[in-house]
Structure 1
Amino acid sequence: MRIATVGDNCIDYYANLKTGYPGGNPVNVAVYLKRLGVESSYVGFVGNDEYGKILTNALSEKGVDISHVSVKEGSTAVTQVELVDGERVFGDYDEGIMADFDLTEEDIKFLSGHDLIVSGIWGKIHGRLPELKRLGNVIAFDFATKLDDPIKEEAIPYVDYAFFAAEVETDDLLQFMVREKAKGPKIVIVTLGENGSIAYDGRFHRFGIVPCEVRDSMGAGDSYIAGFLKAIMEGYPIQKAMEQGAKNSSVTLAYVGAW
């Protein structure tokens, strides 16, 4: 099994720790998949600065295929983060050269050689999803907390596994999941932090959390996505995939930084 992730990357800079960690949803998912034993690739832009070197070197050391990471003149994206009682608080975001990210035809051919393509709402490839879908690709997409973002309406008809994030289960949230499932996805999944997760494939499935000591919540949702997708692609039922997502999250929650 080979899974490709594509889109945004950044350095998560913790000002209070005076330390930066490589991150970004697709980057994190690629690393977490590799941690689970899945061959993974990452496609995106980095700048020709020190942060770009740090990010590509870190991915390479983790065993992620970076053959389609392009180094561009300019700065690598940076997100300012503060850690407050184990919870990440995001500050300013400098998109850097990722502001101009797009896929080449060679990138699309490369992505299509994988069993699954994973991206998200900040990945800048939502306009490319119709083409990727026409080529027969299976697509997972993380919409995060952006339940009403215009990108969601544009992207979701071409998505097989649609991930969202919220805080608590409500009737409105369940109705939202039903509506989104009707637009095309096979499964709609909502992670609820310490309240577990819900999945809908025509009926609702629920799973709690795997208890652990929380040091930093950065990357917990991305870890869930990686664990869930690995299990689903291996043919496991939804309930088992949710369990695997929660287990993978518990590993990430136990240390500082996404990975």
Structure 2
Amino acid sequence: MTVLVIGEALVDIIDGRRRPGGSPMNVAIGLGRLGVPTVLHTSLGDDAAGRLLETHVRASGVALTPQSRGTASTSVAEVSIDSTGAPTYRFAITWDPDPVDVAAGGYRAVHVGSISAMMRPGASVLDAVLDASRASALLTYDLNVRPALMGAPGPARARAEQIIARVDVVKASDEDIAWLYPDLPADRVIERWLAAGARLAVLTRGARGASAATATTAVEVAAAEVLVRDTVGAGDSFMAGILAALDDAGLLTAAGRGRLPVLDREELRRVVGFGIRCAAVTVTREGADPPWRVDVRSAGVGYA
């Protein structure tokens, strides 16, 4: 059985060079490279950019749903990198994918996130998949906020909370939370999400590492010490890493849902630590380039 990832795939233009991008696609690529069988449902045009993305996806061992190819132009993001390696984005994107039959796929987990979770009309496809998959799959969500496309924080927050109430695992960055909840500290937001229905909430803090919490346990894991080239795709690699770690533990299935709230501290640390190691490899590279599992093993990065 495979993992289904739903969301945007686009071409990042960095210093005039075209590179595959899009948060959900990066997560799918990361999962494929870490050895987790994965299918991506997205929206690709019949153009050069679409063919570039399809080749990239398949080269990482990820399949595309038949419905992923369409006639609209493939989406594009222009990326600027500042002196710290942090990216800013300017988008030319549409999100109107065809429906996908999850029953036919037999997926054991479904991952959603970022722009595609917010943008109409395609967000309705995502909602239908979450509703249809609840009984048969573990559901995961990465907020990956893009303020330029998500409007005001209030409506975006309400939409995010609609999804969080339906999923088992939610991941966000401290910057995501600061934009969505300017008047609440991050720990209160995590408590709110767990009370809403999430079984595991994970928060990334850039150079300060990451934390994770369930209703019974919380951990903090320090960042790996590496030379940062840029941070494009680091959060997506982290997300793929924690999903792969859950898979290694036999938890990336609907049957794993009940085990998430009772993970002990060491189990949580292993999950978060593997995500950090995956992100640490990515930040040493240019652009969104998730590691293969052998890269993580050979990188020699640890965590405290």
User: Is 120-129 or 68-77 further displaced after alignment?
Assistant: 120-129
Gaps of 5+ in 2: 117-122, 147-152, 251-266, 290-304
Matches within 5 A, 1:1-259: 2-14=2-14, 17-96=15-94, 98=95, 100-104=96-100, 106=101, 108-111=102-105, 113-123=106-116, 124=123, 125-145=125-145, 149=156, 150-167=158-175, 172-202=185-215, 203-235=217-249, 237-259=267-289
Higher strand share: 1
How well do the aligned residues superpose, as a CA RMSD in angstroms?
2.3
Higher percent of residues as helix:
2
TM-score (norm 1): 0.89
TM-score normalised per structure 2: 0.76
1:101 corresponds to which letter in structure 2? P
User: Is residue 25–residue 119 contact of structure 1 (8 Å, CA) maintained in 2?
Assistant: no
Deviation (angstroms), 1:88: 3.7
132-141 vs 181-190, greater mean Cα deviation: 132-141
**What is the percentage of aligned positions where both structures have the same residue?**
24
Is the CA contact (8 Å cut-off) linking 1:4 and 1:117 kept in structure 2? yes
Return 5+ residue gaps in structure 1 as ranges.
none
Distance 1:222 1:53 in 2: 22
Which residue identity is paired with 1:243? G
Could you give the per-residue CA deviations for residues 26-72 of structure 1, whole angstroms, max 9, x where no partner exists? 11011111221211111111011110010001111121112435221
Alignment partners' CA distance in 2, 1:41 and 1:47 = 18
